[in-house]
Copies of this chain bind each other. A is one copy, B any other.
Amino acid sequence: MLNAIDKKVLKEVADLEGMPKGAYNIRKNGKLEGREVSANINIETNEKGDGIIIDIKPGTKDESVHIPVILSQAGLHDVVYNTFIIGEGSDVTIVAGCGIHCGGNASEGHSGIHEFQIKAGAKVKYVEKHIAIGEGSGKRILNPTTKVFMEENAQAQMELTQIGGVDEAKRVNEATIGAGSVLLITERVMTEKEQSAESRNEITLAGTDSKTNIVSRSVIKGSSSQDFYVNLTAKAKCYGHIECDAIIMDNGINQTIPALRALHPDAELTHEASIGKIANDQLMKLMSLGLDYDQAVNRIIQGFLR
């Protein structure tokens, strides 16, 4: 049964007011809380029992799967291995995410290892939100890993967000992009206080005319720190772009380390990075419209992370 806290967490990570429509799998404190399959989308526990397999039939259109995780048990460090098989020519949305509610002083953590097999011509939008709330003093740890294998002419859009409250995050994204396929990754991470987040991205443009655009947006408040790594390797005629923007507030620190490896003569790789405080003229403009300093800063941060 979902209690009031669970419902709050579900709302935050998956924008759900109750049980979702269509296929879903809700995991709470390491156990299955509810599951629904559809005619085209099957969900079953994997052989080892340490995760689920989401199997989407070829040609499935305009369907969605929700697989949120709720963690509210002090001391629990949940690890889950999920596999998504996204059938040829399908067009689906997957909403994942993990919400931690910490009520005590023991740490809580979740590591979700998500593997995507995206078949030829398939199109998938993957939305993953991470948040931690609660009055407890225990550390909240979230370590998501996504491994993406794209066949030909597939499209994947990954929206990866860590909204706040997470004390430690080790984020890993790996992808191999086949011929004619396009991968868009947008990662937004906000840290504050003494929090730290690390994001490691290992992306290979493997097939002819493969494309990727990797966008990282970081807001680093308090004394928090964020490190962002991308290793973008081009092995074919391809196009890849990386864009890293970090706003440093208070005493935040940031390291941004992209590697562009053009191992094919027809590779085209570009990168832009910008690390710094909020531009003063932006602040002044908003304050001249009647916002006070904090409101103006908040408005800019919200816009930046949207």
Q: Is A258 an interface residue (CB 8 A)?
A: yes
Chain B residues within an 8 Å CB radius of A253? 262-265
Tally chain A residues at the interface, Cβ within 8 Å: 31
Asked if A275 and B256 make an inter-chain contact with CB atoms under 8 angstroms apart, the answer reads no
**How far is B223's CA from A263's CA once the two chains are assembled, in angstroms?**
11
Q: Is A274 an interface residue (CB 8 A)?
A: yes
Q: Is A17 an interface residue (CB 8 A)?
A: no
Q: Is A255 an interface residue (CB 8 A)?
A: yes
- Residue with the greatest number of chain B CB neighbours at <10 A, chosen from A250, A258, A262, A276: A262
Give the contacts of A264-282 with B (CB-CB under 8 A). 264-277
Q: How far is the CB of A62 from chain B (nearest CB, A)?
A: 37
**How far is B247's CA from A262's CA once the two chains are assembled, in angstroms?**
11
Q: Is A19 an interface residue (CB 8 A)?
A: no
Q: Select one of B266, B274, B277 contacting A277, CB under 8 A.
A: B266
**How far is B255's CA from A269's CA once the two chains are assembled, in angstroms?**
10
- Residue with the greatest number of chain B CB neighbours at <10 A, chosen from A249, A258, A263, A266: A258
Chain B residues within an 8 Å CB radius of A2? none
Asked if A259 and B263 make an inter-chain contact with CB atoms under 8 angstroms apart, the answer reads no
Asked if A274 and B265 make an inter-chain contact with CB atoms under 8 angstroms apart, the answer reads no
**How far is B261's CA from A263's CA once the two chains are assembled, in angstroms?**
26
Q: Which residues of A pack against B, CB within 8 Å?
A: 246, 248-277
